[in-house]
Structure formats: C-alpha cells, structure tokens
C-alpha cells in the first residue's frame, strides 16, 4: 500500500489527526450537553447538512490549491436546483435534468477557467460570473411547467438508517479527489502550479489546461452540492447556495490549506466541515437565532486568516503541511 500512496500523502493523513481531535471533542461536548443532538433525526439532519458543505468545499479546495478561488460556487449550486426542476419540460425527464445540472456547473467552471487562464484575477472573474449565473438561474426559475421531480429527489435523498446516501457519496468523492490530487500527474502539476505557477510554466507543464481542470471540477462539484441541498429542501431556488461561498472558503482555511495555493491536504476538509456543521446544528437545537451561524462563519474566517498571518512568523499550524506537497521542480518530466 505504501508503494501506491506517496509518503507525502501519508504524512498529510497524519497531520489531520489534530483537526480530527478538535472535531471529535466538539461532537462529544454536543452529545453530552444536548440530548436532542443524540437523536436519529438530529444525526440525519447533521449529515444531510454536512454532505453539500464537503462536496462544494472539495471543489473550492482544488481551486485554492491551484492558487485561485471560486466565488461562483453558491450561484452554481442554485443554478443546479433550477436545472433539475426542468425535468418536466425537457426530453429525458429527471435523469436528463440531473445530467444537465451537472453539465451546467461544468460549463460555468470552464468559463471561469478560461477567464483566469487569460489573465483575469480569479476573485474578479468568479465574482462576475456568479452574478451572471445567479441572474440566469432566476430567469430560468420562472420557466412555465418547471417543477421539482419529487420522486427522483426522494431517491437521491435515500437514507440508510440515519445516514443519507449523499453523505456516503461525499466521503467517496473526497477520497477519490484526494487520491487524484496526490497520486496523478495532473493533480501533482496542479499543486506545483499553485505553489509557483511561473516555475511550473517554465518547466513546460500545461498550466492553462490545468486551470480549466481545476475550475471545471469546482463548477461541477458546486452543482452536485446544490443537488445535495435539494434532497433536504425539495425546492428549486436560485438563491439556495448563497451561504456556500463562505462555508466552502471557511472550511478550506480551517482545513489548513494555504490560501495562496500549493500547500495542504484535501482529507483535512472533512473534519473542518464537521466542525462547521456541528456548530450550526448546536445553534439550531438550542433555539439560537440562525443569523449567529453566519456570524460564526465570518468570525471563523477572520480568525483563520489571522492564524495564517501569524504562521508567517514562528506560529505553526499543527495540521498543515509545512511545505508544498509537490515542489514544482519535482513533479516529473514533461
């Protein structure tokens, strides 16, 4: 097994232990102090909330590892729900609408990638595209005859006991993305370009193509995350993913992935997402105003950025790799 998984990848797994300990501590505190947290309904709700956060954060992590960012993930998630509702108006029904939703996310991601590869700042590019996508979704939402395919959504929302199908799928996507990023040549080029894009380009690596791959995956995963949200809401809403941007960015930063790219581990996304989802569940179960969830995420984001600033000095983040997982000069021959 050690011959299949690189030493650096195993090191990234070990580094996530501290973050997992924090997540486990929070789970234990919530379980002991809140009896309602232990119910099967609460567990199902927590996992159903966790699934889209994990899925969307995987895509966000990939773009940030590449040295970019994707502010359009929330708009794409909303667009996906609207596309799924077109099942009654397009040939092929719900299955075709599901494929259309994912394809729409991929197209938006590729457009983002084209803009970024042409030299447009990722913040500006993805922010502008978010406005275009959200406006388009609002227009499509009013399509005559559009309706959510409830039977199909029920299948997507299938649970095994208190565990939703999408929660299991989110873990599989995370492991698959981690293996791809850490073991494939494309994944290693992506990390090398995130660490130093100029050096990667000078070495002859296809940075432009990798840009399209990174943002294309982010768009498609954002769409998939939107469909995961639908299994809880059963509604087509262009604004349904409005919290996904702050959720995904906060998750990625708490996971220890360097905002400037090239450093971090995708596996750390899961415990980071657990921390955010559990706090949200606690706020809900205690009857606290839901707006405190947004405040918490904002404070968490500011705190994470502060930690990264301090980490430039003597402070060490215990669950983050100290250097690039794949130095640009060791990616391999062209």
Share in percent of the chain as helix, strand, coil (round to 5): 70, 0, 25
Distance CA 191, CA 193 (A): 5
Q: Domain boundaries in the chain?
A: 7-330
pLDDT at residue 319, as a whole number: 47
Write b or e for each residue in 220-257: b if 16 or more Cβ atoms lie within 10 A of its Cβ, otherwise e.
Answer: bbbbbbbbbbbbbeeebbbebbebbbbbbbbbbbbbbb
Rounded to 10 degrees, the C-alpha dihedral 293/294/298/299 comes to -30
Residue count (the chain): 334
pLDDT at residue 315, as a whole number: 45
pLDDT at residue 202, as a whole number: 64
Distance CA 309, CA 306 (A): 5
pTM of the predicted model, to two decimals? 0.86
pLDDT at residue 137, as a whole number: 94
Residue among 272, 297, 286, 214 nearest 20 (CA): 272
Question: pLDDT means per 10 residues in the chain (334 residues)?
Answer: 50 70 90 90 92 95 91 96 91 92 96 94 95 94 83 91 93 92 80 69 71 94 96 90 90 84 82 90 83 79 66 48 46 42
Please give the CATH number for the structural domain made up of 7-330: 1.10.3470
pLDDT at residue 292, as a whole number: 79
């Amino acid at each position: 097994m050690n011959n299949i998984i690189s030493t650096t990848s195993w090191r990234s797994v070990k580094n996530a232990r501290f973050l997992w300990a924090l997540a486990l501590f929070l789970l234990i505190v919530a379980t002991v102090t809140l009896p309602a947290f232990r119910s099967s309904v609460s567990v199902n709700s927590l996992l159903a909330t966790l699934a889209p956060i994990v899925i969307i954060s995987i895509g966000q992590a990939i773009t940030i590892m590449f040295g970019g960012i994707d502010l359009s993930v929330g708009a794409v998630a909303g667009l996906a729900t609207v596309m799924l509702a077109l099942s009654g108006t397009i040939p092929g029904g719900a299955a075709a609408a599901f494929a259309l939703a994912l394809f729409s996310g991929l197209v938006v991601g590729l457009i983002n990638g084209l803009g970024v590869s042409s030299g447009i700042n990722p913040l500006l590019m993805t922010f502008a595209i978010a406005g275009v996508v959200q406006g388009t979704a609002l227009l499509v939402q009013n399509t005559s005859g559009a309706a959510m395919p409830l039977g199909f959504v029920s299948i997507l929302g299938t649970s095994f006991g208190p565990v939703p199908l999408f929660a299991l799928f989110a873990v599989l996507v995370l492991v698959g993305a981690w293996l791809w990023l850490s073991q494939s040549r494309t994944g290693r080029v992506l990390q090398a370009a995130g660490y130093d894009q100029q050096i990667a380009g000078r070495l002859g690596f296809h940075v432009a193509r990798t840009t399209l791959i990174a943002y294309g995956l982010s768009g498609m995963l954002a769409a998939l995350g939107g469909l995961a949200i639908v299994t809880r809401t059963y509604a087509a809403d262009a604004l349904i993913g409005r919290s996904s941007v702050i959720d995904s960015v906060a998750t990625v930063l708490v996971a220890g992935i360097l905002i400037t790219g090239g450093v971090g581990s995708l596996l750390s996304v899961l415990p980071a997402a657990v921390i955010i989802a559990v706090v949200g569940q606690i706020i809900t179960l205690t009857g606290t105003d839901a707006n405190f969830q947004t405040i918490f995420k904002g404070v968490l984001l500011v705190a994470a950025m502060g930690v990264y600033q301090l980490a430039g000095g003597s402070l060490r983040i215990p669950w983050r790799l100290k250097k690039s997982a794949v130095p640009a000069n060791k990616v391999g021959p062209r």
